[in-house]
């Protein structure tokens, strides 16, 4: 018999064969072509033995199988010539599963735990499913999150099993369900304690069930139907498409493909339906969005979370005490994040009242989490107890790490830096959470600039996943390593950038806001500007975001920059708009109740009608595509300049920073991957044209011109 | 080219399209058969002269399925040599049937044809025939489908019609329809619908609410705010109309066309038919056409098809005495009037579907008949009939009276 590496096959004396997934060195049993080949071989052996009455498929591990090996899939996606090529390459698991359910032997899945994607699809192709009654044993089809669809029968078997109405939301949201819900939905037949799973599966097989799936029985109908002559089905599908369009703005093809695959396949016998599903899968997998999502949000994020930029050879040093300077929104958020990660935190502010805001903040967040069942009362108490407000710098003593989050004012920052350094150990790291001021400048206030680093967190700290770590000119490797270690401990994804005004994230993001204002000043319809931002995939339009940030703040940043730079200063392109709104109109944003938008006491905000007088609408309006292009290109250009100037050392950092930091649309794979998505040659060509029309800010940097000329990509194929 | 003439037309009254509606107990086949019978009987028509019966029907499934035109002709006792076909151009089906019948005559391929339409919306609800357009996910995603009412609200938003503007239009439609009934202006065209025993089931349009006021309409909730805002259709529409900040939902059940049951039939033939039948033509069908328009907003076809048709017919908007523009939604007619700078006293002078109802497959034939009667009553010559059509289309027909 064949020797298996990723599965185990045993024949029991009771005539039951057991296949257990056991992929070496991989607790989640990732599926791959090699595993499918082994499963195929094992099934051959099972089918060949007449004395085998049934087959159990299970896992030798606490997890059942968490889906396909995405790294392997990325290789296939990148090397495939086109959708047809990919279609020809990837029938493996789908074909095996169809064979499994029609091979003539009844099969039962004993689902030991987590069963996601291909893992759940494997279980769905068994005739019976018993799932471990354990909260960690969640099941689901999360493929949509990486821009794909369940390509091994998920879109066909799940709706045939539980009906279209229940199956669609699970696939569209990629939501996993716990065992009780899986049972109630009808995804599994039975729950059992993990120890009893095999026995239950055996018992079901022992009764000699017919090895036939419901959908292979004569006269099978999809539960709840799937015909367009049923008005309920019409309403369901029509509404689902609208919901998908609203959620994706047409940028993410996977949800629509899931709907189409399910609907079209359900009109057909399952074999033909499976072929439809594979076609839609190949279409998605050969397109740019899935590759972008997998590469950035899975592979590169995984690398960043494993601290890919950490200098080698520096021993970790545990932070047993964290100091936080300033108990405002950011400081309080940082204190909470540290305490939640198990670190005692001293939070310093100028008065006891101000310092105590950190406790209020932590209390509020913990209260919310407790209400939502994310934390127990006892644990919440422990977290709260770790937050210690103070007004005395001496209380920072013993902190291995201090993060400064005081006002964006050089003098104040210099003062607290000196006072903190006076009490902390000589090898403690001092991080500034500035979002705008260059780190090397701030480090001048430090007696130990090697220990001085920038850590730019985002607000609200507990929810925003990114931290932008900024190396100053003198920052030592050890400080960088420690900052990365702390980021990991706080559960944040770190990117590492070199010093620059606005670093990477604030600098690039500002171009989005500025371009929105330039468009406005050109007489482009404000609604078109805002919709173009959102429809391109940005979380909010550029004018709305400016109102949120506050025009006044942006105005002050410009003034500060002017003071800092002197002769080399240049006003941002949107300065006339910013100046007009702040100085003349006194419409400074949401806080002031008036900005680009009006904020009525009741009802929704709406664009200030006075915009039409300030910026008379141009007779000819640009197309939606033109405005979207400007709003995305301007950001990609600035990111490319960051790469050229060495602010960014790796495109992946730019991609992650853009998606996780300011919500740059993930369908692009990130602000630099976007250039690859467009294609460097076309991108450069478009930029030259945009520069001719709209100004030199669109002139592409040399790094992109070279790339285009060489026909290369920023992200080399994996 | 041979000419096509209208010799006569009849319609049923329009019954409320609900289980308590006056025509709910009458099958659509009966509705169609009774108008076919009435047209024959009051003209002494030898049905052997009829080449074809063309009936519009928008939900041709169930009891409206299987070519209801041929079946209704047989049930009505037309000669078995009379062929029949069911036609679907959504809301313009009834007018399209007239146009297709005229085309048969004008091309010399038919001597006479009966055109019209039928829809029992209370018995075969809208959408009963399914449809890839909105329900096949790949199709509706590609085409950016939104329900018609969202399109109507979008027109109102783009053109700046307030809720009060569209409600005022609806009040006027009700007032005109009530006045028309009061003066007996529909008397010539409406034939009572009878039950199995010959008793009259309904002899008056029953959807009207003559007591409608701006205040009473203001009580109604916008019908499409829910689907637009909750289900996401507003965003779908904005992807096509990104200059719109937010769609204002102004259309309600009170300023949109009513859901009703009804049927209509129009007798169409050439000179050869006039001679053979001894009947006098009342109007000439001068020109007709259809057009496709942007499908998401869907309802802007009437102005576009009217421009196309006027140009083809070598006419100007001033050459038309009266207009019938189907009142699918108030904003549709308002946009049409604004587009051509038309005063309201030449448009839908006897009210429209907001007051009287819109039996989908029949309406085009109904309003064609209404405006012909009105031309005769006023001693005017020319009228244009147009309807907005699902999936972004428009159909229009120009008729002019002839001296027999």
Residues 6+ apart with CB under 8 A from A347: A324, A327, A331, A332, A335, A355, A358, A387, A388, A389, A390
Coil, helix or strand at residue A447? coil
pLDDT value for A1? 53
C-beta atoms of B134 and A238 within 8 A: yes
Distance CA A297, CA A289 (A): 11
The answer to whether residue B160 neighbours chain A at the CB level (below 8 Å) is no
Distance CA A380, CA A356 (A): 17
Alpha helix ranges (H) inside A386-471: 410-421, 439-442
C-beta atoms of A249 and B235 within 8 A: yes
Coil, helix or strand at residue A163? coil
Catalytic member of B24, B57, B91, B112: B91
Tell me whether strands A493-498 and A466-471 are parallel, antiparallel or unpaired.
parallel
B358 included as an active-site residue: yes
The answer to whether residue B218 neighbours chain A at the CB level (below 8 Å) is no
Residues of B with Cβ-Cβ distance to A531 under 8 angstroms? 238, 242-245
Distance CA B317, CA B338 (A): 13
The candidate with the shortest Cα–Cα distance to B259, out of B14, B68, B33, is B14
Coil, helix or strand at residue A191? strand
How far does A600 lie from chain B, in Å, by closest CA?
16
How far does A621 lie from chain B, in Å, by closest CA?
9
C-beta atoms of B243 and A527 within 8 A: yes
C-beta atoms of B231 and A527 within 8 A: no
The candidate with the shortest Cα–Cα distance to B361, out of B103, B18, B121, is B121
Coil, helix or strand at residue A53? coil
Residues of A with Cβ-Cβ distance to B127 under 8 angstroms? 231, 234
Would you give the DSSP letter of residue A56?
A: E
- How crowded is residue A368: how many other Cβ atoms within 10 Å of its Cβ? 12
Residues of B with Cβ-Cβ distance to A621 under 8 angstroms? 243
> What are the respective helix, strand and coil percentages of chain A, to the nearest 5?
55, 10, 35
Q: Report residue B332 as tokens.
A: 């549709």
Candidates B128, B136, B151, B390: best to mutate against A (most CBs of A within 10 A) is B136
Residues of B with Cβ-Cβ distance to A250 under 8 angstroms? 239
Residues of B with Cβ-Cβ distance to A240 under 8 angstroms? 137
- How crowded is residue A690: how many other Cβ atoms within 10 Å of its Cβ? 20
The answer to whether residue B243 neighbours chain A at the CB level (below 8 Å) is yes
The sign of the CA dihedral A280, A282, A287, A290 is positive
The answer to whether residue B158 neighbours chain A at the CB level (below 8 Å) is no
What backbone phi and psi angles, to 5 degrees, belong to A107?
Answer: -130, 145
How far does B297 lie from chain A, in Å, by closest CA?
15
C-beta atoms of A227 and B130 within 8 A: yes
User: Domains, chain A, ranges and CATH?
Assistant: 7-286 (3.90.226.10), 322-504 (3.40.50.720), 520-635 (1.10.1040.50)
* Closest CA in chain A for residue B133: A238
The candidate with the shortest Cα–Cα distance to A285, out of A127, A480, A78, A444, is A78
Residues 6+ apart with CB under 8 A from B82: B47, B48, B50, B51, B52, B53, B73
Distance CA B235, CA A244 (A): 10
* Closest CA in chain A for residue B235: A246
* Closest CA in chain B for residue A233: B135
What residue ranges of chain A have pLDDT lower than 70? 1-2, 717-718
C-beta atoms of B239 and A242 within 8 A: no
Distance CA A427, CA B305 (A): 80
C-beta atoms of B246 and A264 within 8 A: no
Residue B367 has pLDDT above 70, yes or no: yes
How far does B243 lie from chain A, in Å, by closest CA?
4
Q: Tens digits of per-residue pLDDT, A282-297? A: 999 999 999 999 999 9
Candidates A155, A241, A276: best to mutate against B (most CBs of B within 10 A) is A241
Q: Report residue B356 as tokens.
A: 């009287």
C-beta atoms of B239 and A249 within 8 A: yes
Distance CA B205, CA B355 (A): 9
B112 included as an active-site residue: no
Check if the beta carbon of residue A344 is closer than 8 Å to that of residue A358: no
What backbone phi and psi angles, to 5 degrees, belong to B2?
Answer: -60, 155
Q: What is the CA radius of gyration of chain B?
A: 20
Distance CA A647, CA A658 (A): 14
pLDDT value for A717? 56
Q: Report residue A98 as tokens.
A: 């169809």
Would you give the DSSP letter of residue A554?
A: H
C-beta atoms of A228 and B131 within 8 A: yes
Residues of B with Cβ-Cβ distance to A535 under 8 angstroms? 238-239, 242
B57 included as an active-site residue: no
From chain A, which residues contact B within 8 Å (Cβ)? 227-229, 231, 233-234, 237-247, 249-250, 256, 259-260, 263-264, 525-528, 530-532, 535, 604, 606-607, 621, 624, 627
The candidate with the shortest Cα–Cα distance to A65, out of A25, A26, A17, is A26
**DSSP labels, A667-678:** GGTSTTHHHHHH
C-beta atoms of B137 and A233 within 8 A: no
* Closest CA in chain B for residue A624: B242
Check if the beta carbon of residue B305 is closer than 8 Å to that of residue B388: no
ipTM, 2 dp = 0.94
C-beta atoms of A240 and B61 within 8 A: no
C-beta atoms of B239 and A250 within 8 A: yes
Cis status, amide bond into B174, omega within 30 of 0? no
Coil, helix or strand at residue A623? coil
Distance CA A297, CA B115 (A): 62
Q: Where are the strands (E) in B109-196, listed by range? A: 112-120, 193-194
Distance CA A563, CA A503 (A): 18
Bridge partners (DSSP) of residue A555 are none
CA B235 to each of CA A531, A666, B160, B163, B231: distance values in angstroms, whole numbers, following the listed order: 10, 20, 19, 21, 9
* Closest CA in chain B for residue A622: B243
Expressed in angstroms, the distance from the first to the final Cα of chain A is 36
Residues of B with Cβ-Cβ distance to A242 under 8 angstroms? 145-146, 227, 231-233, 235-236
Residues of B with Cβ-Cβ distance to A523 under 8 angstroms? none
pLDDT value for B210? 95
What torsion do the CA atoms of A233, A237, A240, A242 make, to the nearest 10 degrees? -130
Q: From the list A234, A247, A606, which residue is nearest B135 (CB)? A: A234
Question: Annotated catalytic sites of A, by residue?
Answer: 456
Coil, helix or strand at residue A189? coil
Coil, helix or strand at residue A517? helix
Q: How many CB pairs under 8 A join A and B?
A: 100
A711 sits in the region (left: phi over 0; alpha: psi -120 to 50; else beta) called: left
Distance CA B385, CA B352 (A): 12
The answer to whether residue B211 neighbours chain A at the CB level (below 8 Å) is no
- How crowded is residue B65: how many other Cβ atoms within 10 Å of its Cβ? 16
How far does A245 lie from chain B, in Å, by closest CA?
6
Coil, helix or strand at residue B397? strand
Residue B286 has pLDDT above 70, yes or no: yes
Bridge partners (DSSP) of residue B73 are none
What's the angle, vertex CA A688, arms to CA A683 and CA A689, rounded to 5? 100
CA B18 to each of CA A101, A335, B196: distance values in angstroms, whole numbers, following the listed order: 49, 64, 21
- Exposure string (b/e) for A570-592, b if CB count within 10 Å is 16 or more? eebbbeebbebbbeeeebbbbee
Residue A363 burial (10 A CB sphere; 0-12, 13-18, 19+)? middle
Alpha helix ranges (H) inside A428-504: 439-442, 477-489
The answer to whether residue B230 neighbours chain A at the CB level (below 8 Å) is no
Check if the beta carbon of residue B388 is closer than 8 Å to that of residue B344: no
């Amino acid at each position: 018999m064949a020797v298996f590496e990723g599965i185990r096959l045993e024949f029991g004396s009771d005539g039951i064969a057991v296949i257990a997934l056991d992929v070496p060195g991989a607790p989640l049993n990732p599926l791959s072509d090699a595993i499918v080949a082994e499963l195929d071989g094992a099934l051959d052996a099972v089918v060949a033995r007449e004395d085998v009455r049934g087959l159990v498929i299970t896992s030798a591990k606490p997890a059942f199988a968490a889906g396909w090996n995405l790294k392997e899939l990325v290789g296939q996606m990148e090397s495939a010539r086109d959708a047809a090529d990919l279609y020809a390459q990837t029938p493996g698991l789908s074909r095996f599963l169809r064979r499994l359910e029609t091979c003539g032997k009844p099969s039962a899945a004993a689902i030991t735990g987590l069963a996601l994607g291909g893992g759940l699809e494997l279980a769905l192709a068994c005739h019976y499913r018993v799932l471990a009654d354990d909260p960690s044993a969640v099941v689901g089809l999360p493929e949509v999150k990486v821009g794909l669809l369940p390509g091994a029968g998920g879109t066909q078997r799940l709706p045939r099993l539980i009906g279209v109405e229940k199956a669609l939301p699970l696939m569209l949201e990629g939501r996993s369900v716990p065992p009780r819900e899986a049972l109630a939905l009808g995804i599994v037949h039975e729950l059992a304690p993990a120890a009893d799973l095999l026995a239950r599966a055996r018992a079901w097989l022992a009764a000699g069930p017919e090895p036939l799936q419901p959908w292979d029985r004569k006269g099978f109908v999809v539960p709840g139907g799937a015909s367009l002559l049923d008005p309920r089905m019409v309403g369901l599908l029509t509404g689902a498409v609208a919901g998908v369009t609203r959620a994706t703005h047409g940028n993410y093809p996977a949800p629509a493909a899931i709907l189409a695959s399910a609907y079209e396949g359900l009109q057909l016998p399952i074999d033909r339906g499976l072929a439809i599903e594979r076609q839609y899968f190949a279409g998605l997998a050969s397109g740019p969005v899935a590759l972008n999502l997998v590469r950035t949000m899975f592979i590169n994020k995984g690398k960043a979370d494993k601290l890919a930029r950490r200098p080698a050879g520096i021993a970790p040093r545990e932070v047993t005490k964290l100091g936080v300077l300033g108990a405002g929104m950011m400081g309080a958020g940082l204190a909470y994040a540290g305490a939640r990660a198990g670190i005692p935190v001293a939070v310093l502010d100028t008065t006891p009242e101000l310092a105590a805001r950190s406790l209020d903040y932590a209390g509020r967040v913990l209260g919310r989490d407790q209400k939502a069942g994310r934390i127990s009362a006892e644990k919440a108490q422990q977290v709260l107890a770790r937050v210690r407000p103070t007004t005395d710098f001496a209380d920072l003593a013993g902190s291995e790490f201090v993060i400064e989050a005081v006002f964006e004012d050089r003098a104040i920052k210099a003062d607290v830096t000196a006072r903190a350094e006076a009490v902390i150990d000589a090898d403690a790291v001092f991080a500034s959470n500035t979002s705008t001021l260059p780190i090397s400048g701030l480090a001048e206030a430090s007696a130990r600039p090697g220990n001085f680093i920038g850590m730019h967190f985002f607000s609200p700290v507990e929810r925003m996943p990114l931290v932008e770590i900024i190396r100053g000119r003198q920052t030592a490797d050890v400080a960088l390593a420690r900052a990365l270690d702390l980021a990991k401990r706080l559960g944040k994804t770190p990117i590492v950038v070199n010093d620059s005004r606005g670093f990477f994230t604030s600098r690039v993001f500002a171009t989005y806001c500025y371009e929105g204002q330039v468009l406005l000043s050109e007489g482009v319809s404000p609604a078109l500007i805002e919709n173009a931002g959102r429809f391109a995939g940005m979380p909010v339009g550029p004018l709305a975001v400016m109102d949120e940030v506050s025009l006044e703040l942006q105005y002050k940043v410009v003034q500060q920059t002017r003071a800092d730079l002197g002769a080399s200063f240049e006003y941002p392109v949107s300065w006339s708009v910013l100046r007009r709104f702040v100085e003349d109109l006194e419409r400074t944003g949401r806080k002031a109740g008036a900005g680009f938008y009006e904020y009525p006491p009741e009802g929704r905000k709406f664009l200030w009608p006075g915009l039409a007088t300030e910026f008379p609408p141009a007779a000819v309006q640009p197309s939606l595509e033109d405005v979207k292009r400007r709003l995305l290109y301007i950001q990609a250009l600035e990111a490319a300049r960051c790469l050229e100037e060495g602010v960014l050392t790796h495109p992946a950092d730019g991609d992650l920073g853009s998606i996780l930091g300011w919500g740059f649309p993930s369908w692009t794979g990130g602000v630099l991957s976007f250039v690859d998505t467009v294609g460097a040659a076309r991108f450069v060509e478009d930029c030259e044209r945009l520069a001719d029309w709209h100004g030199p800010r669109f002139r592409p940097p040399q790094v992109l011109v070279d790339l285009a000329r060489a026909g290369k990509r920023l992200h080399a194929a994996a | 080219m041979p000419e096509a003439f209208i010799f006569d037309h009849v319609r049923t009254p329009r019954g409320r399209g609900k289980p308590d509606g006056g025509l709910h107990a009458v099958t659509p086949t009966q509705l169609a058969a009774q108008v076919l019978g009435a047209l024959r009987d009051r003209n002494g028509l030898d049905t052997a002269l009829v080449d074809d019966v063309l009936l519009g029907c928008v939900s041709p499934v169930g009891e409206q399925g299987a070519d209801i035109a041929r079946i209704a002709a047989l049930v009505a006792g037309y000669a078995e040599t009379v062929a029949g076909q069911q036609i679907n151009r959504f809301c313009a089906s009834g007018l399209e049937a007239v146009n297709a019948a005229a085309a048969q005559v004008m091309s010399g391929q038919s001597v006479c044809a009966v055109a019209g339409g039928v829809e029992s919306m209370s018995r075969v609800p809208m959408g009963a025939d399914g449809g890839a357009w909105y329900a096949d996910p790949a199709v509706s995603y590609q085409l950016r489908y939104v329900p018609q009412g969202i399109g109507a609200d979008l027109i109102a938003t783009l053109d700046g019609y307030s809720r009060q503007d569209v409600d005022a239009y609806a009040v006027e439609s009700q007032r005109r329809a009530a006045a028309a009934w009061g003066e007996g202006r529909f008397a010539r065209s409406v034939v009572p619908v009878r039950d199995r025993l010959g008793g009259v089931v309904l002899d008056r349009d029953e959807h009207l609410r003559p007591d409608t006021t701006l205040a009473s309409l203001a009580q109604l909730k916008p019908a499409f705010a829910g689907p637009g805002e909750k289900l996401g259709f507003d965003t779908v529409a904005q992807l096509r109309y990104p200059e719109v900040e937010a769609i204002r939902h102004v259309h309600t059940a009170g300023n949109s066309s009513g859901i009703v049951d009804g049927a209509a039939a129009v007798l169409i033939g050439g000179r050869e038919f006039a001679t053979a039948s001894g009947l006098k033509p009342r109007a000439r069908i001068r020109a007709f056409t259809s057009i496709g328009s942007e499908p998401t907003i869907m309802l802007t076809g009437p102005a576009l098809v009217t421009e196309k048709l006027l140009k083809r017919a070598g006419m100007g908007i001033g050459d038309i005495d009266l207009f019938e523009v189907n009142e699918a939604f108030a904003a549709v007619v308002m946009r049409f009037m604004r587009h051509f700078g038309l005063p309201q006293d030449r448009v839908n002078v006897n009210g429209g579907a907001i007051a009287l109802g819109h039996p989908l497959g029949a309406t085009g034939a109904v309003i064609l008949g209404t405006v012909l009667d009105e031309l005769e009553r006023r001693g005017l010559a020319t009228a244009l009939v147009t309807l907005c059509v699902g999936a972004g289309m428009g159909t229009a027909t120009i008729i002019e009276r002839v001296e027999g």
